[in-house]
A and B are shown apart, each in its own frame.
With several copies, the nearest count.
Chain A
Amino acid sequence: MELDIKLDKRLARVKLISRNKNHVVVDVDGFAYRLDVHMVEDHVYSVLHEGKSHNIEIIPGETNKKYFVNTIYKNYDLEIVDAESRYLQNRNKNDLNNEQNVISTPMPGKIVRIPVKVGQKVAANDTVIVISAMKMESEYKAGREAVIKKIMVKEGDTVTGHQPLITLE
């Protein structure tokens, strides 16, 4: 088993060399690790490596291949990169501009105001939507001059994180 794995911006090549129950030997970019790995709680692993005790949390992300990884020092975004995801990535390159045309929010919240209408022309930095969460309002602005193409939500709606809200043209 051999996979490419993206950790934040780093791309690593990972290969399973051997496994005997909880003892594994795995190669990362040419360096072989002998580890003793136990899942101790939901999503939490205890890993021993040359005596050092590591606690690593592997939280499922948006897709089957995405994770949030927490070590004691740092949190990472991690993605498994296989043939399928490479294909999708290539395909998406063409849609990249499209993605920049979608305004979405990283956090769940409630739509407070939408000061624009479909077909309206907006300048760069114009506020197009205001979302409130936890007593704080955040304004989302257009990244460039554009025309409002579609508004998928209305004032008062509750939205989840990463949900597309408005598309620009």
Chain B
Amino acid sequence: MIKKLLVANRGEIAIRIMRSCREMGISTVAVYSEADRTSMHVRYADEAYYIGPSPSSESYLKMDKILEVAKKSGADAIHPGYGFLSENAEFAKQCGKKGIIFIGPSPHAIATMGDKITARQTMINAGVPVVPGTNRKITTDAEAKKVMEEVGLPLMVKASAGGGGKGMRLVHSASELLNAVKAAQSEARTAFGDDSVYIEKYIESPHHIEFQVLGDKHGNIIHLFERECSIQRRHQKVIEETPSPILTPELREKMGRSAVEAARSVKYEGTGTVEFLVDNNLNYYFLEMNTRLQVEHPITERVVGVDLVKEQIRVANGEPLAYKQEYLRQLGHAIECRIYAEDPDNNFMPSPGLIRHITEPTGLGVRTDGYVYKGYEIPIYYDPMISKLIVWGRTRAGAIDRMKRALSEYKISGVKTSIRFLQNIMNNSDFVDGKYDTHFIEKHMESLMAEKQKCDPHCEDIAIITAFLDYIEKIGKSEKASPVTPETSGWKQYGRRNNLSRL
């Protein structure tokens, strides 16, 4: 039984994991880099240890340092969260060697799914549909041409070790092929130290739909239905929802079975995600499997009613799954918006900085998973995600209404955020109708960037007046200028009160 757990991560996911630990009576150990001493995960944990300078490569990616802290603090288990070491087979192996439970699947499952060519071949053997293409590394020009003839145009050249859109090339005409292969190989070599590339058919207008799976150490594997993740910008998910607006019950069942087969082919333990591409004719193809907890796992938690982190820990403790496939249901509809510190008006440039003020939405059907607080400075070294806003509604329309309400309550100042951009997506009629694919943002960019709601005739003037009053108060000219002089300066009562030494 796990009694003490080290979270080898930071930000919202570290806190999300610690919350489930606290509910299970498991004590928590945080690790932190130089930039993260005042980060919320350090404050939330029972224990916290410094592991190195701010860049991830010198801290959150340092396996030996993290294992040393685990040993020193007496942690029985390590949860890697997502990103960082979460899909590193070597780290999983090292944990095993030191007698520390790695919360995740076996090193074999991680390695198999981490190499796309191997994963494709494994899926074909398991009877899971994959995108038409080759299952071998492309080594010669002749081979590339042969595959092109088989799969047809357009096609994708992809790095086997790839991820995050790197090492990918789209080929529209035969003449581009060889250059694309060379470019992808070169990029893959630089990015991943492995120049293996392969060729897949290019699926036009695809939907990105993934299935949550959960396996235990006793051979039981279930799926917890799908997440629709087609709202993306540059291969980064922006909004996810479940159920998918395009799935039929029959297709859901079929894809769910494929997802379970995919997981079974690597004897999957814990939570994982099988990503599919779905075309306009509702054909689906295995894309990849993420062998970790996914950023967007909360929407599944809400409609299926499970705590996925608790399930991970129970599986790691050797317990059999508490759920049977036939009893699981999707109840209602959930949507997640990722709130980023970025400036949509300035080409989505990241916007680190000091949080001046934050008010998070709450109330019926609203969950936020975040980590920043007033006075916190978002560091420049890590992911720009501030929080995830998750809402639930009995219907999809109800969930969209609630998301609009929640976004309108969300106030963050000091850094730029994507909140207004997300509001515009919620108001887009194609989104509201559930008619979108992965090209949605690109296609609607212009209207998504436009100002949607206007100040009423006076609201601009009122903003000017408020700043005017703030300024004359600041320079102390308010009383003199005013024909009616109040005993105390009224509108700053708040500030003054807070400065009193007397409570």
Residues of chain A touching chain B, judged by Cβ–Cβ distance below 8 Å, are 1, 3, 5, 7, 10, 12, 14, 16, 18-22, 24, 26, 28-29, 31, 33, 35-49, 51-65, 67-74, 76, 78, 80, 106-110, 132-136, 138, 158, 161
Q: B322 within 8 Å of A by Cβ?
A: no
Q: B481 within 8 Å of A by Cβ?
A: yes
A22 to B30 CA separation, bound complex (whole angstroms): 19
The answer to whether A38 and B38 touch across the interface, beta carbons within 8 angstroms, is yes
Q: Tell which of A33, A58, A158 touches B467, judged by Cβ atoms closer than 8 Å.
A: A58
Closest CB in chain A relative to B422 CB, distance in Å: 15
Query: 5 new A-B pairs (CB below 8 Å) besides A58-B467, A71-B460, A110-B380?
Result: A18-B484, A21-B490, A62-B501, A70-B411, A107-B353
A108 to B35 CA separation, bound complex (whole angstroms): 14
Residues of A near B471 (CB, < 8 A) are: 3, 65, 67, 80
A133 to B456 CA separation, bound complex (whole angstroms): 37
Q: Tell which of A18, A33, A57, A133 touches B352, judged by Cβ atoms closer than 8 Å.
A: A133
The answer to whether A7 and B463 touch across the interface, beta carbons within 8 angstroms, is yes
Q: Tell which of B47, B356, B411 touches A53, judged by Cβ atoms closer than 8 Å.
A: B47
Q: B444 within 8 Å of A by Cβ?
A: no
A54 to B491 CA separation, bound complex (whole angstroms): 15
The answer to whether A33 and B461 touch across the interface, beta carbons within 8 angstroms, is yes
Residues of A near B382 (CB, < 8 A) are: 134-135
Interface size on B, residues (CB 8 A): 75
Q: Tell which of A28, A55, A107, A136 touches B461, judged by Cβ atoms closer than 8 Å.
A: A28
Closest CB in chain A relative to B30 CB, distance in Å: 7
The answer to whether A36 and B375 touch across the interface, beta carbons within 8 angstroms, is no
A1 to B37 CA separation, bound complex (whole angstroms): 27
Q: Tell which of A20, A67, A68 touches B484, judged by Cβ atoms closer than 8 Å.
A: A20
Q: B445 within 8 Å of A by Cβ?
A: no
The answer to whether B357 and A44 touch across the interface, beta carbons within 8 angstroms, is yes
The answer to whether B491 and A39 touch across the interface, beta carbons within 8 angstroms, is yes
Closest CB in chain B relative to A114 CB, distance in Å: 17
Given known A1-B477, A110-B380, contact A73–B43 (CB-CB < 8 A): no
Q: Name the interface residues of B448-503: CB closer than 8 Å to any CB of A.
A: 451, 453-456, 458-472, 474-475, 477-478, 480-484, 486, 490-495, 501-503
The answer to whether A35 and B346 touch across the interface, beta carbons within 8 angstroms, is no
Please give me the residue from chain A that is nearest to B382 by CB atom: A134
Q: Name the interface residues of B55-104: CB closer than 8 Å to any CB of A.
A: 72-73
The answer to whether A135 and B383 touch across the interface, beta carbons within 8 angstroms, is yes
The answer to whether B453 and A42 touch across the interface, beta carbons within 8 angstroms, is no
Please give me the residue from chain A that is nearest to B468 by CB atom: A14
Given known A37-B491, A134-B383, contact A59–B413 (CB-CB < 8 A): yes
16 A–B contact pairs at CB < 8 A?
Answer: A5-B464, A5-B467, A16-B482, A26-B469, A39-B491, A41-B494, A42-B356, A42-B375, A51-B29, A51-B72, A53-B44, A56-B462, A62-B501, A72-B453, A80-B471, A134-B380
Residues of A near B30 (CB, < 8 A) are: 53
Q: Name the interface residues of B353-377: CB closer than 8 Å to any CB of A.
A: 353, 356-357, 373-376
Closest CB in chain B relative to A135 CB, distance in Å: 6
The answer to whether A19 and B482 touch across the interface, beta carbons within 8 angstroms, is yes
Q: Tell which of A21, A33, A52, A72 touches B486, judged by Cβ atoms closer than 8 Å.
A: A21
State the majority secondary structure of interface residues on A.
Answer: strand
Q: Name the interface residues of B364-418: CB closer than 8 Å to any CB of A.
A: 373-376, 380-384, 408, 411, 413-414
Given known A18-B484, A109-B352, contact A51–B463 (CB-CB < 8 A): no
Closest CB in chain B relative to A50 CB, distance in Å: 8
The answer to whether B383 and A71 touch across the interface, beta carbons within 8 angstroms, is no
Closest CB in chain B relative to A42 CB, distance in Å: 7
One digit per residue, 1 when the CB lies within 8 angstroms of any chain A CB and 0 when it does not, for chain B 23-45 equals 00000011000000110001111
The answer to whether B459 and A7 touch across the interface, beta carbons within 8 angstroms, is no
The answer to whether A46 and B477 touch across the interface, beta carbons within 8 angstroms, is no
Please give me the residue from chain A that is nearest to B454 by CB atom: A73
Residues of B near A51 (CB, < 8 A) are: 29, 47-49, 72-73
The answer to whether B48 and A48 touch across the interface, beta carbons within 8 angstroms, is yes
Q: Tell which of A16, A56, A61, A132 touches B463, judged by Cβ atoms closer than 8 Å.
A: A56
A58 to B494 CA separation, bound complex (whole angstroms): 15
Given known A28-B461, A42-B375, A56-B462, contact A18–B483 (CB-CB < 8 A): yes
The answer to whether A45 and B380 touch across the interface, beta carbons within 8 angstroms, is no
The answer to whether B490 and A38 touch across the interface, beta carbons within 8 angstroms, is yes
Given known A19-B478, A38-B490, A107-B351, contact A46–B454 (CB-CB < 8 A): no
Residues of A near B373 (CB, < 8 A) are: 40-41
Residues of B near A40 (CB, < 8 A) are: 38, 43, 373, 375-376, 494
The answer to whether A106 and B349 touch across the interface, beta carbons within 8 angstroms, is yes
Q: B341 within 8 Å of A by Cβ?
A: yes
The answer to whether A108 and B381 touch across the interface, beta carbons within 8 angstroms, is no
Residues of A near B480 (CB, < 8 A) are: 1
Q: B350 within 8 Å of A by Cβ?
A: yes
Closest CB in chain A relative to B466 CB, distance in Å: 4
A21 to B492 CA separation, bound complex (whole angstroms): 10
Please give me the residue from chain B that is nearest to A2 by CB atom: B481
The answer to whether B464 and A71 touch across the interface, beta carbons within 8 angstroms, is no
Residues of A near B462 (CB, < 8 A) are: 33, 35, 47, 49, 54, 56, 71
A42 to B380 CA separation, bound complex (whole angstroms): 23
Residues of B near A39 (CB, < 8 A) are: 470, 491-495
The answer to whether B466 and A37 touch across the interface, beta carbons within 8 angstroms, is yes
Q: B150 within 8 Å of A by Cβ?
A: no
Please give me the residue from chain B that is nearest to A51 by CB atom: B47
The answer to whether B492 and A41 touch across the interface, beta carbons within 8 angstroms, is no
The answer to whether A74 and B451 touch across the interface, beta carbons within 8 angstroms, is yes
Q: B46 within 8 Å of A by Cβ?
A: yes
Q: Tell which of B43, B356, B411, B467 touches A78, judged by Cβ atoms closer than 8 Å.
A: B467
Residues of B near A57 (CB, < 8 A) are: 357, 411, 413
Q: Name the interface residues of B283-310: CB closer than 8 Å to any CB of A.
A: none
Please give me the residue from chain B that is nearest to A3 by CB atom: B468
Please give me the residue from chain A that is nearest to B353 by CB atom: A108
One digit per residue, 1 when the CB lies within 8 angstroms of any chain A CB and 0 when it does not, for chain B 407-433 equals 010010110000000000000000000
